């Protein structure tokens, strides 16, 4: 769902340096100056490998750590505005809940913390629990719940005060495919109800199916931001070529195509820019062309192109 009323998050040159080293005398840039905005109504994916600065950004937005520079506004208000907390829900990366509590008790506690009107509290707790499909387990101790169920309780905690903006740090990590699917569906539903969702992840397929836009971060630095389809267009494409005639394999392999033969049928994948040369080689070798299909680039291809190159340069250095 996309509605452009006002930015839900506006970040201008926000940065964070951590003191490191034995004497705390060295500085490490956890987040280099970041400028980014997230529109109201968006599902925004914040992508990056370990140590990219995702959690640092979320903690800055929540006021849990102080920026070394820059500013940010949430729903038009300054970060330091205490009122803004009422409109934000947050699921931390590794939530720690007392495991002898039940979901109902936990949510009641968070509803108190986030200032839900006492008269509304029971209804808010029941609504949040129902919202994540956990009503039936409301009185079961948390230690008896599966990881997927715990994650849903964590999301219920983030929405118990009906926030406009929900920040989720790695909401799908550690879940099996069914658990991931459930969280993905839930994020989508919350968005359809009008909430803006900003979530960090390194699971690219989840971001690809869910997000209106994504940002890619590496080593504290923004590497790209945009609509997933636009980012994918920046990745140089590949084509799949299928033909009859094994004789042409050596010519195509020499061009750099990856060929797989099944009997006389050959399937090859090669960069789009080599297509003309490949078709010429097929003609020369009297091969019978069956089909040419563009191979759809994935967010993973983009990610590897933007982040992977740096990593492989490091490994060989
Ligand atoms: N409290 C801290 N003190 C020192 N350095 C820190 C601190 N917190 C984070 N860092 C460093 O800042 C960088 C960014 O960390 P951050 O936790 O934001 O990354 P991330 O993208 O959330 O990674 P992950 O996917 O592992 O959760 C890392 O190099 C990390 O070591
Ligand atoms: Mg993190």
**Per-residue pLDDT at 99:** 85
307 pocket-lining for ligand 1 (C-beta < 6 Å): no
103 pocket-lining for ligand 1 (C-beta < 6 Å): no
Residues 247 and 204 in one domain: no
Query: φ, ψ for residue 99 (rounded to 5)?
Result: -80, -5
Residues 211 and 191 in one domain: yes
Cβ neighbors of 222 (< 8 A, separation 6 or more) are 32, 34, 35, 36, 215, 216
Residue 218 CA to ligand 2 center (angstroms) comes to: 12
Is 102 in contact with 139 (CB distance < 8 Å)? yes
CATH of the domain at 283: 3.30.70.120
Range of the structural domain that residue 259 is part of: 238-295
Give 152-208 as a 3 state SS string: HHHHHHHHCCCCCEEEEECCCCCCCHHHHHHHHHHHHHHHHCCCEEEEEECCHHHHH
Cβ neighbors of 138 (< 8 A, separation 6 or more) are 102, 103, 104, 129
Residues 221 and 254 in one domain: no
Pocket test for ligand 1, best of 29, 56, 95, 207 (most atoms within 8 A of CB): 56
Residues 138 and 270 in one domain: no
Residue nearest to atom 27 of ligand 1 (CA): 50
What is the pLDDT tens value at each position of the chain, 317 positions in all?
554 567 999 999 999 999 888 777 788 899 999 999 999 999 999 999 899 999 999 999 999 899 999 999 999 999 888 888 889 999 998 777 788 999 999 999 999 988 899 999 999 999 999 989 999 999 999 999 988 889 999 999 999 999 999 999 999 988 888 888 989 999 999 999 999 999 999 888 888 889 989 999 999 999 999 998 888 877 777 899 999 999 999 999 999 899 999 999 999 999 888 999 999 999 999 999 999 998 877 888 888 877 766 665 555 44
Residues 208 and 225 in one domain: yes
**Per-residue pLDDT at 205:** 85
Q: How many domains does the chain have?
A: 2
State how far the alpha carbon of 148 is from the alpha carbons of 107, 176, 187, 211, in Å.
17, 8, 14, 21
Structure tokens at 63: 């006021």
Q: Examine residue 55 and state whether it is found in any structural domain, yes or no.
A: yes
Q: Examine residue 302 and state whether it is found in any structural domain, yes or no.
A: no
- Using the 3D structure, point to which of 233, 257, 287 is the last residue of a domain: 233
Residues 130 and 251 in one domain: no
Residues with CB under 5 A from ligand 2 (ion): 54-55, 93
**Per-residue pLDDT at 316:** 47
pLDDT, tens digit, 9 for 90 and up, residues 17-72: 998 887 777 888 999 999 999 999 999 999 998 999 999 999 999 998 999 999 99
């Amino acid at each position: 769902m996309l509605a452009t009323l006002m930015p839900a998050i506006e970040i201008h040159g926000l940065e964070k340096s951590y003191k490191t080293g034995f004497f705390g005398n060295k500085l490490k840039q956890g987040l280099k100056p970041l400028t980014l905005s997230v529109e109201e109504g968006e599902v925004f994916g914040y992508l990056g490998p370990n140590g990219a600065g995702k959690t640092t950004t979320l903690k800055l937005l929540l006021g849990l750590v102080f920026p070394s520079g820059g500013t940010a506004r949430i729903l038009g208000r300054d970060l330091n505005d205490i009122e803004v907390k009422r409109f934000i829900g947050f699921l931390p990366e590794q939530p720690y809940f007392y495991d002898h509590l039940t979901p109902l008790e936990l949510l009641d506690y968070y509803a108190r913390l986030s200032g839900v009107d006492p008269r509304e509290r029971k209804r808010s707790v029941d609504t949040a629990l129902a919202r994540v499909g956990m009503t039936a387990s409301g009185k079961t101790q948390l230690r008896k719940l599966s990881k997927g169920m715990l994650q849903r309780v964590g999301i219920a905690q983030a929405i118990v005060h009906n926030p406009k903006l929900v920040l989720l740090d790695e909401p799908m990590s550690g879940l099996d495919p069914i658990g991931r699917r459930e969280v993905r569906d839930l994020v989508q539903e919350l968005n359809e109800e009008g909430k803006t969702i900003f979530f960090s992840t390194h699971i690219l397929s989840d971001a690809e199916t869910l997000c209106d836009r994504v940002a890619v971060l590496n080593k504290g630095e923004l590497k790209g931001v945009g609509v997933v389809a636009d980012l994918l267009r920046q990745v140089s494409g590949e084509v799949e070529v299928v033909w009859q005639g094994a004789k042409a394999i050596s010519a195509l392999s020499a061009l750099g195509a990856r060929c797989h033969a099944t009997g006389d049928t050959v399937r090859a994948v090669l960069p789009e820019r080599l297509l003309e040369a490949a078709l010429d080689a097929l003609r020369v070798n009297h091969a019978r062309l069956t089909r040419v299909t563009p191979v759809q680039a994935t967010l993973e291809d983009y990610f590897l192109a933007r982040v992977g190159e740096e990593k492989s340069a490091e490994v060989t250095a």
